[in-house]
Structure 1
């Protein structure tokens, strides 16, 4: 699916599982999550509310996390695919709700041992 009104945050499956647990502990609604077993990655479908900042890109790159923005492609499970080896729903879409990308990023940061709303110190800037 082409990302437009829905974006994706793609991360290693182990981090994705930790983020899911963290969000559930915080009573945050999850929204749809896709597992990609062959690449061992998860994709969280989110609202398109993240800033387009180099600092954010660099921070997530260090964690092996990427954001699929408008114009990108998000791989979804096929309703006709009987093989869960390629893609499967961890949390299927039940309605039109998608969590804020900021909520998912805060959970990622906490699970990675960073403070939420992490900002790079002046000495760390390129």
Structure 2
């Protein structure tokens, strides 16, 4: 039996992200990585240490876990979420001071790919299993709570 037909490839992983997880993923032809453009899916990126505290706070509050990508070399985490963060400059300024950013509409979010398994650029902290994504506003609230900046909103 030919086991190559069952190999995990960028194309098969991309198909899984699309069909099972509802992520509009594609393969960037220039570099071959799997990406999602922000729009239907939002992203909130932060330092890994803060990301761990935010993930723990979400669990403590009883919120279901959504997908989280670790960017290994930069030590940053990106929470995939619903794009429902209010457009508020004071909020964005508070997040900027915490080294947290909201992926802008049309911005690319790189996802883990089997093609980079040996390079270790990205890996799932919480892998997507279905189409669920938590509210971006809830994640931002947890960020501000974990960073002790609740009054910044």
Q: TM-score range by the shorter chain?
A: 0.7 to 0.9
- Cross-structure match for 1:6: 41
- The aligned runs of 1:59-78 (5 Å cut-off) are 59-78=94-113
Shift of 1:53: 1.9
Residue 138 (structure 2) aligns with: 103
| Residue-by-residue CA offset, 1:66-108 (whole Å, 9 max, x unaligned) | 0003211111111333226200000000110100011101111
* Structure of greater Rg: 2
Q: How does 1:1-126 map to 2 (within 5 A)?
A: 1-83=36-118, 85-115=120-150, 118-119=152-153
Distance 2:116 2:72 in 1: 14
Structure 2 length normalisation: TM-score?
0.73
Q: Alignment length, in residue pairs?
A: 118
Structure 1: runs of 5 or more not aligned: 120-126
Q: Which runs of 4+ in 1 moved over 4 A?
A: none
Unaligned runs of 5+ in 2: 1-35
Higher normalized contact order (CA 8 Å, seq sep 6+, divided by chain length): 1
Residue 21 (structure 2) aligns with:
none
Q: TM-score, normalised by structure 1?
A: 0.88
- Secondary structure of the residue aligned to 2:110 is coil
Which has the larger helix fraction?
Answer: 2
